[in-house]
Amino acid sequence: MTNTPSKGRRVATQQAVRKGGVPPTLVVALVAILASAGALAIQQPTEDPEQRAVVAPATRPLTSLSILCPAAVQGSPDLVIGQGTEGGTADDGTLVSRAAEGEKSEDLDLAPGGAGPVDASRDAVVVTGTGTRAPGLFGARFGGPGRPAAGQCAEPSGERWFVGVGAAGGLHESKLLLANPDTGPAVADLSLWSTTGELIDVASRGLTVPGHGSTVIDLAELAPNRDELAVQVTVSRGRVAASVSDDYTPLEGDPVSEWLPPTAAPATTQLVPGLPRTMDEPKLVLANPGADAGRVTLQVVGERSTFTPSGLKEISVGSGEVVVADLPPKLVKQLAEENASLRITSTVPVSGSLRAVVSGDLVHLPAVEELTGDSATALPGGAGSVLTLTPTDKAGQARVEFPGQDRDPETVRLTPGTTTTVPIPAKARAVVVRGTTAYVGSVRTITPKGASVLPLQALDVEQLIPDVRPEWP
């Protein structure tokens, strides 16, 4: 007897399957379709992309900030570092300096929210704050005793302008320092203009700065030129901080070494604050990188009003050219009568800087960026310093603080069309300004051995977090 089922029994079983069962392949297909539909329902935006409201980026406290501090000049004391924000303890973050060329780093001893000298290398260094030590970080180098040369530390920026740099070799020579605070390589491009036009044949494109490295560019070797130049530094990859050192020999004087501050980007209205009341060889350097020629007029923003000195002529600026003009003696005489800022108004965007000799010392006074909110600068210490503030449009107030000093903050009124001054205590090593309206400002220091002007720098305290959403067709 056999165990094989009969043919009739097998047929009955197959019919039962066809009548009540579902093929496995169909089940898998249905599950896949339902899963895809559910995922799309969850991800698909509920509102029409065309009608979705634009959401501004959110702000968060800054958690890391690096600044490039230039190398010291002969006789320079220690580097001065400050922090324009309060709150937190030394355990809430780190503050270190690293050689601009290399990996060696060291901790810096500075109380949170304080300001003062720190023990750091005399070479160019990158100072980095993390955690609560990052917001509001700033600093500067200074000259030796009695010589108020000053060079501020610079944050990485996508674009920097330097107007009035020298490439003559010996008489006036500038060196550009590019530093990369990050581990990956960065790339920068240089554009240069002279009194005869843009220097398009100069090999200044695609300059690679290695990670945690720096590059020094001698402009007298890159683009030899007897007249002043304008330089634009544009970063195309990564982050780069830029600084310029300057060697100059005044007429019938000894060679001096200085730092040349950055200038505001070209605009039709600019302000040069902190003018010395007495100066020799004052020269205004104007750069017009555009394709159209223009005209420039000058005004004095004094302690009581803004005025145009009588007989002052317009200055013509050719397209794509740098113009070097002597400041008229009549204007220099009027500047000696009061503390003032110089207003530069032009028919095309220009960038400007004033160079002068004070007590045998070279001083650079750049047109500066407009500020809103909080700003600060380190101070050389000693007598002879004064803060100058000029509002750009509307009236407001400014609260002036001196970190580390046993002195109450001072509140001053800012009146449009005028310049306000605040004396600085001799022992102060930093000043913080908190404004309620747009303004420009600087600290001018004059001693029997020379002068320096330190523009106020905006305090970087927050980072922007963009609102990112998927783009649907």
* DSSP code per residue over 197-244: EE-TTS--SSEEE-TT-EEEEEHHHHS-EEEEEEEEEEEEES--EEEE
Binned at pLDDT 50, 70 and 90, residue 27 comes out as low
The verdict on residue 44 lying in a domain is no
* Structure tokens, 398: 């400014």
137 to each of 127, 158, 262, 376, how far by Cα in Å?
9, 19, 18, 9
Q: pLDDT tens, 350-403?
A: 999 999 988 878 889 999 999 999 999 999 988 889 999 999 999 999 999 999
Could you tell me which residue, 439 or 91, shows the higher pLDDT?
A: 439
pLDDT of residue 10: 42
In a domain, 371, yes or no: no
- CATH number for the domain that contains residue 248: 2.60.290.11
Is the separation of the CB atoms in 257 and 450 below 8 Å?
no
Let me know: does 94 contact 133? Beta carbons within 8 Å. Answer: yes
The pLDDT score that the predictor gives to residue 146 is 62
Instruction: Inform me whether the pLDDT recorded for 44 exceeds 80.
Output: no
Position 339 confidence tier, pLDDT thresholds 50, 70, 90: very high
Mean pLDDT of 415-419: 97
Token code pair at residue 264? 């505001």
Determine how β-strand 197-198 pairs with β-strand 186-194.
antiparallel
Residues 179 and 252 grouped into a single domain: yes
Higher per-residue pLDDT: 4 or 212: 212
Structure tokens at 145: 């005793």
Assess whether pLDDT exceeds 50 at residue 12. no
Query: Residue 113 falls within a domain, yes or no?
Result: yes
- Would residue 452 count as lying in a domain? no
Task: Name which of 443, 253, 274 is nearest 362 in CA terms.
Answer: 253
Q: 188-213, pLDDT tens digit by residue? A: 999 999 999 999 888 789 999 999 99
Q: Which two tokens stand for residue 468?
A: 């990112």
Please determine, for residue 341, whether its predicted confidence score (pLDDT) is greater than 50.
Answer: yes
Residues 184 and 125 in one domain: no
Residue 349 is assigned to a structural domain of this protein: yes
Q: Which residue range is the domain that position 326 belongs to?
A: 264-366
Q: Using the structure block, give the residue that is written with the tokens 């980007």.
A: 265
- The pLDDT value recorded for residue 101 is 85
Percent of the chain's residues with pLDDT above 70: 83
pLDDT of the residue at 17: 42
The mean-pLDDT minimum among 273-282, 345-354, 388-397 falls in: 273-282
Distances (CA, A) of 1 to 4, 5: 9, 11
Residues 228 and 207 reside in one and the same domain: yes
User: Total structural domains in the chain?
Assistant: 3
Give me the pLDDT at residue 450, please: 83
Residue 319 confidence class, pLDDT cut points 50, 70, 90: very high
Cα 298 to chain centroid, rounded: 26
Question: pLDDT at position 196, please?
Answer: 92
Average pLDDT of the segment spanning 163-175: 84
pLDDT at residue 415, rounded to an integer? 97
Segment 269-281 shows an average pLDDT of: 93
Query: Distance (Å, rounded) from C-alpha 258 to C-alpha 364?
Result: 9
> 248 or 276: which carries more pLDDT confidence?
276
H/E element, 281: strand 280-288
Find which of 161-170, 251-260, 302-311, 460-469 is predicted with most confidence, using mean pLDDT: 302-311
Residue 302 lies in a domain: yes
